[in-house]
Amino acid sequence: MDQVTEQYEAYPYPDRNPADEARRLITGSPSHPLEIDHFVFGGCRDWSMPLRALVAGGGTGDALIQLAQIMAQAGKPCEITYVDLSTASRRIAEDRAAARGLEGMITFVTGSLLEAPEMGEFDYIDCCGVLHHLPDPAAGFAALRAALAPGGGMGFMVYAPYGRSGVYPLQEAFGRLFGTLAPEARLAAAREVMARLPAGHPFNTNPNLGDHRDSDAGFYDLLLHSQDRAFDIPALLSELDAGCWELAGFTMPVLYDLAELAPRPEGMDDEKAMAVAEMLRGTIKTHVGYAVAAGSGQTPASSRNRSLVPHLTGIEARPLAQAVAQGKAPQVTFNGMSGRLQLPVAAAPLIARVDGRHSLSEIFAASGTDPIGTGAVWSRVESVLTGWGLLRYSGLLR
């Protein structure tokens, strides 16, 4: 058994208890159906057609359970294949699915995501926190691309370097010191050393990291992983390109907006601008986004299509509308970064009508205002809220 498989057999990650399914649903990015529709299908997927999904390297099941549960609640057909190397992780994912009565929508496979092309074609592929642990990430990107159905896409999360400062020297040091020990002994020895690190060590001064405090599995995954690399923006885009993917978008574009941090030099292309923004931001520890087949022409949803249905995520429509109507700019925060939602007062009645069931054209008509002026106001709403990951378009609930 290789060290990566050995790790996840001993410490399935993330640490989850199936009994907790009775009290909460863990949601997030990627792989929320609203996000999938927004970034992959332009906000207008026909949800009467079964969604064929692959959760590649599914671990203990966060993405799997989120996707299956929300599709079940929406009453939409879905066929999900879960694959992971760890039998311990798979058992937890299976127990979580059973606790929610979701087993009938899921096929569980113990294996490698490199075998994905043999499992069929998928409209959607989730690969969260896995590609950066492969000995050859390019092979992973290529294998998943080979399993993608025409018109489909992938939600991904890969590590980013700057927000993980201090991690990699410790991983290397612990590997040299304790790499031959069994996982339990390796963990105990590393915890003893961690208690003696200087206060000024880059890891101890990095406020972006917390997995090591949450559980043994989190400590091990962060600091004792035997195969781990991070991608800066140029490296990530290069891997996508080599695998015949292209970036559809990051779930929180404001993080990569150079204009938020410094003047953008004339002639600087988007890739270079995002790379500089990542350097200046310095706190991005993961890149979370969606990719589609290179040359597919698929783009994220936008208000140019007035038949789309807007959803607010992570924020409630009425309180936001009330604040905007009063001329306030509500504060939002993410991983230590904060900003304000600067929205025109005229947007308040539009925001108040966002309920995930009415289209933009219906919302605009109900507002009783000039369609051209309303469109301009909504364009500002879209720019600000999608920048912070707070607005998605999808007909899932129609």
Quick one: 80 and 92 in the same domain? Answer: yes
Residue 299 forms part of a structural domain: no
Q: Is residue 74 part of a domain?
A: yes
Helix ranges, 195-327 (H) = 211-214, 216-223, 233-242, 270-281, 317-325
88: domain CATH number is 3.40.50.150
Asked whether residue 60 falls in the same domain as residue 127, the answer is yes
114 and 260 both lie in a single domain: yes
Residue 312: its H or E element: strand 310-312
Q: Please tell me whether residue 224 adopts helix, strand or coil conformation.
A: coil
- Using alpha carbons, list the distances in angstroms from residue 263 to 268, 277, 328: 11, 11, 26
| 24 and 151, same domain (yes or no) | yes
111 & 56 share domain: yes
The answer to whether residues 150 and 172 belong to one domain is no
Write the single-letter amino acid at 300: P
Do 289 and 314 lie in one domain? The reply is: no
The last residue of one of the domains, among 175, 196, 223, is 223
- Here the tokens at position 99 are 């606790």
User: In this structure, is residue 305 part of a structural domain?
Assistant: no
Q: Are 256 and 274 in contact (CB under 8 A)?
A: yes
Predicted TM-score (pTM) of this structure: 0.97
Q: How far is CA 65 from CA 41, 93, 195, 247, in A?
A: 21, 8, 36, 25
Q: Are residues 103 and 215 in the same domain?
A: no
pLDDT digits (tens, 9 = 90+) for 95-146: 999 999 999 999 999 999 999 999 999 999 999 999 999 999 999 999 999 9
Residue 279 lies in a domain: yes
* Beta-bridge mates of residue 393: 310
Is 302 part of any domain? no
Does 300 fall in a domain?
no
Residues 251 and 212 in one domain: no
8 Å CB contact between 68 and 104: no
Whether residue 304 lies inside any domain: the answer is no
Same-domain pairing of 60 and 187? no
> How far is the first Cα of the chain from the last one, in angstroms, to the nearest whole number?
48
* Domain final residue, candidates 223, 248, 270: 223
Amino acid at 227: Q
Cβ-Cβ contacts under 8 Å for 171 (sequence gap 6 or more)? 223, 224, 225, 228
Looking at 196, 223, 250, the residue that finishes a domain is 223
Round to whole Å and give the CA distance between 220 and 157: 19
Question: Which residue range is the domain that position 377 belongs to?
Answer: 310-393
pLDDT of the chain, 398 residues: tens digit per residue: 799 999 999 999 999 999 999 999 999 999 999 999 999 999 999 999 999 999 999 999 999 999 999 999 999 999 999 999 999 999 999 999 999 999 999 999 999 999 999 999 999 999 999 999 999 999 999 999 999 999 999 999 999 999 999 999 999 999 999 999 999 999 999 999 999 999 999 999 999 999 999 999 999 999 999 999 999 999 999 999 999 999 999 999 999 999 999 999 999 999 999 999 999 999 999 999 999 999 999 999 999 999 999 999 999 999 999 999 999 999 998 877 889 999 999 999 999 999 999 999 999 999 887 777 899 999 999 999 999 999 999 999 99
Report the helix count and the strand count for the chain, using DSSP H and E: 15, 11
Q: Is residue 263 part of a domain?
A: yes
CA 75 to chain centre: 23
**126 in the same domain as 25:** yes
Residue 255 and residue 337 in contact, taking contact as beta carbons nearer than 8 Å = yes
Q: Cis (ω within 30 of 0) for the bond into 14?
A: yes
Question: Are 85 and 100 part of one and the same domain?
Answer: yes
Let me know: does 6 contact 87? Beta carbons within 8 Å.
Answer: no
Instruction: Count the domains in the chain.
Output: 3
3-state secondary structure of 37: helix
